[in-house]
Chains A and B, each alone.
Chain A
Amino acid sequence: MDLELSESELAFQAEARAWLAANVPAEPLPSLDTAEGFVLHQAWEAKLAAERWSVVSWPKEYHGREASLVEWIIFEEEYYRAGAPLRVSQNGIFLLAPIIFEHGTPEQQDRFLPSMATGERVWAQCWSEPEAGSDLASLKSSARRVSTSSTTGESGWVLNGQKIWCSRAALAQWGFGLFRSDPEAQKHAGLTYFLFPLDAEGVTVRPIAQLDGEEGFAEVFFDDVFVPDTDVLGAPGDGWRVAMSTAGNERGLSLRSPGRFTAAADRLLALYDERPDPRVADRVVDAWLKAEAYRLYTWGTVTKLKDGGDIGAAGSVNKVWWSELDVALHETALDLLGPDAELESRWLDGYTFSLSGPIYAGTNEIQRNIVAERILGLPREPKGVQK
């Protein structure tokens, strides 16, 4: 058992560190949920992609470096340690790309992956509906088969309905989501995974301001939107299985690498040095300690995956931990800031963002049920009333 990096991993780390030190913007970019910030973040993605740092684990033909899982974690640690910008393309590269690699056709891979890697096309996640949040399989937005479109002559599907809490949708170019393609099928069956441009005819995007006043998400209305067969991901009717592989990614390793929290814990310690307050000291220690636990836990996960294991329900353990750590870490920073805490600052932005963690990607209540039922083996709650 060891935590030692190999020569080549150390070389990779040194290269990433040097490049980031030379290229990370000196001043934080404006929020990626503003029109100005969005474009600047896209430009940053393009810069990353030019030197093959935007999607290090991807194949070389799609701007990647074919980095190993260990190298990917190393890169993420360096990325956040360097104070680099948030990833405007994260929905695409972390949530959609693994699905395109696994379920997409070669044609879809060639068509969608390069522009995702360069940040040229940013993707919005369109999953939730007003009546389907944590109970995602109860979604009602529909897809109806059409043999030939009246406008293009292609065969495909017509989408109708409404999606909500679509992150990045206010500014993104394309979206991905599940639609009910077979109303007769059982709840989880009969769903199909679609990709669609957000400026397509019949799509209306209505931005929604978040707690921080910025339009980080939107509701999206579909009124007879035509999607060709070539933009269906996976087999029609197989959308649930396809989507669940992204949910695992989101809760597990791919979206919240430990570097984010270890870097934030380091900044919290620096803040403590500027404004020491013994009444908050223990919480500063706990934030550092929990970030450190998460870092080490992740190496354990990496070992399991390298040995051919599966994360499975442990992704839910992970998600509860990082999301609650993120909130606690930022709350602690605000307490150190005292009366200044209410003023606009990077800590306040981080705090507001952290509040979404226990809600998105499946609420922490859902995650705790998964831990209890699938890991501890506790009995399922009796079924509620089905409408």
Chain B
Amino acid sequence: MKFELTTDQQDFAASLDSLLAAADTVAAARGWAAGDHAAGLKLWERLAEQGLTMLATEASPVEVCVAFEALGRHAVPGPWVEAAAYLPVALGAEVEGVATVAMPRALDADVADAVYAVVGDTLHTATAGKAHTSVDRSRHLFDVTPGDAVEHGDLAAAYDLAVLATAAQLLGAGERVLADAVTYVKQRKQFGREIGSYQAIKHKLADVRIALDFARPLVLGAALDPTPRAVSAAKVACADAAYLASRTGLQVHGAIGYTQEFDLSVWITKIRALVTAWGTPAAHRARILETLRSA
């Protein structure tokens, strides 16, 4: 029994973190939102070189979670869950280039080399249609028209890995918002002292710390044994914790946090989008209850 990342896994997390910290991912996300994909696609290539697109087929779900937590922490744009979690398992092979799948709409189909759709229990190629605007401006969502069926592997396992990857991404985003909020409340002064010295602010941020601390073991537990129940539990806990982080982060920043110009907006809107992506909390709670009652 050793319920903690191995040294190799910790090193992998640290190296991804330093790569992304140096890459101006916020500029890439803002460019992506405005329709300029150049920086985001360059980042995509670099991360693919680091092996991110092969983790789902060549490594374990633990490595997938490590990677997606980093993607969330740095708000990296693009259809990562689709191309690096769902499709490699669904297709049974690493995805070359950028690919996406409609669930129910296809994320970033306009930059994808391949677009897929799930029809019943089968996987199909698809063509993108009408575009929709997401609360997260860096997520461009498209209706699709399914085409020919393609050979596929275990779609249920693919879905569960995508749910887990989304949970890890939420965890990373929540951690980032908490870290930025803590930095801010230590600097910002009102009534002659740092607002972080007020108990009302402290208790809100402590609650975020506690929620994230208890979401993480559900992610790691699900990574070790990705049953439908375990991945749904991870998604519910991470969505709740990250959403609490985003609401609290916004509140302690005050009006500056409400502006698009301030970088916090990148995470606040992403968290809101990911809470309902790959299954709403209500749907995952229903799935958990079903598995518990049939146990």
Nearest A residue to B9 via CB reads A1
B210, B215, B282: residue with the most chain A Cβ atoms closer than 10 Å: B210
Interface residues of B in 1-54 (CB under 8 A from A): 1-6, 9
Interface flags, B203-220, vs A, CB<8A=1, else 0 = 101110110011101101
How many A-B pairs have beta carbons closer than 8 Å: the answer is 142
Distance between Cα atoms of A379 and B186 in the complex (Å): 7
* Contact call A289/B213, Cβ cutoff below 8 A: no
Q: Does A3 contact B (CB under 8 A)?
A: yes
Neighbour of A378 across the interface among B3, B197, B214, B288, CB < 8 A: B197
Separation in Å of the A346 CB from the closest CB of chain B?
21
CB pair B1–A5 under 8 Å, yes or no, is yes
Stretch of A25-33, A230-238, A280-288 on the interface side: A280-288
Interface size classification for chain B:
35 or more
Verify if A299 is at the interface (C-beta below 8 Å from B).
yes
Interface residues of A in 348-368 (CB under 8 A from B): 365, 367-368
A218 to B266, CA, bound (A): 55
Nearest neighbor of A309 in chain B, beta-carbon distance: B4
Across the interface, A371 reaches (CB within 8 A) one of B3, B206, B237, namely B206
Per-residue B-contact encoding for A169-196, CB less than 8 Å = 1, 0 else: 0000000000000000000000000000
| A382 partner, pick from B186, B193, B206, beta carbons under 8 A | B193
- What residues on A are CB-neighbors of B213 within 8 Å? 297, 314, 317, 321
Contact A289/B206 with A297-B214, A300-B3, A377-B182 known, Cβ cut-off 8 Å: no
Residue A342 CB within 8 A of the other chain: no
Which residue of the partner chain, among A303, A367, A376, contacts B1 with CB atoms under 8 Å? A303
Distance in angstroms between the alpha carbons of A381 and B195 in the assembled complex: 10
Which residues does chain B contribute within 8 Å of A296, judged by CB atoms?
3, 217-218, 220-221
Tell me if B5 and A1 are in contact (CB < 8 A).
yes
What secondary structure prevails in chain A residues at the interface with B?
helix
Asked if A303 and B197 sit within 8 Å, CB to CB, the answer is no
Q: Is A2 an interface residue (CB 8 A)?
A: yes
B152 within 8 Å of A by Cβ?
no
Alpha-carbon gap, A9 to B213, bound state (A): 27
Is A269 part of the contact surface with B, judged by Cβ < 8 Å?
yes
Contact at A284–B289, with CB atoms within 8 Å?
A: yes
B288 to nearest A CB, angstroms?
5
Whether B224 is near chain A, meaning CB under 8 Å from some CB there, is yes
B128 close to chain A: CB less than 8 A: no
Smallest Cβ-Cβ distance to B218: which chain A residue = A293
Q: Does B217 contact A293, Cβ atoms closer than 8 Å? A: yes
* B262 within 8 Å of A (CB atoms): no
Tell me if B293 is interfacial: C-beta within 8 Å of chain A. Answer: yes
Whether B253 is near chain A, meaning CB under 8 Å from some CB there, is no
Q: Which residues of A contact B193 (CB under 8 A)?
A: 379, 382
Chain A residues whose CB sits within 8 angstroms of the CB of B1 once the complex forms? 2-6, 9, 70, 299, 302-303
Could you say which residues of chain A place their CB within 8 Å of the CB of B209? 317, 371-372, 375-376
For B202, give the chain A residue with the smallest CB separation. A372
Q: Does A206 contact B (CB under 8 A)?
A: no
State the 4 A-B residue pairs at the shortest beta-carbon distance, nearest first. Answer: A372-B202, A296-B217, A371-B206, A299-B3
Q: Can you add 18 more A-B contacts, CB < 8 Å, to A9-B1, A303-B3, A378-B186? A: A282-B282, A282-B285, A285-B292, A286-B236, A288-B292, A292-B218, A297-B217, A299-B1, A300-B220, A367-B206, A376-B178, A376-B205, A378-B185, A378-B197, A378-B202, A379-B194, A379-B196, A381-B202
- Pick 15 A–B contacts, CB within 8 A, sort by A: A269-B293, A281-B289, A282-B282, A296-B220, A302-B3, A304-B4, A314-B213, A320-B206, A367-B206, A368-B206, A368-B207, A369-B203, A372-B202, A372-B203, A372-B206
- Which residues on A are within 8 Å of B, measured CB to CB? 1-6, 9, 70, 269, 272-273, 281-282, 284-286, 288-290, 292-294, 296-297, 299-300, 302-304, 306-307, 314, 317, 320-321, 365, 367-369, 371-373, 375-382
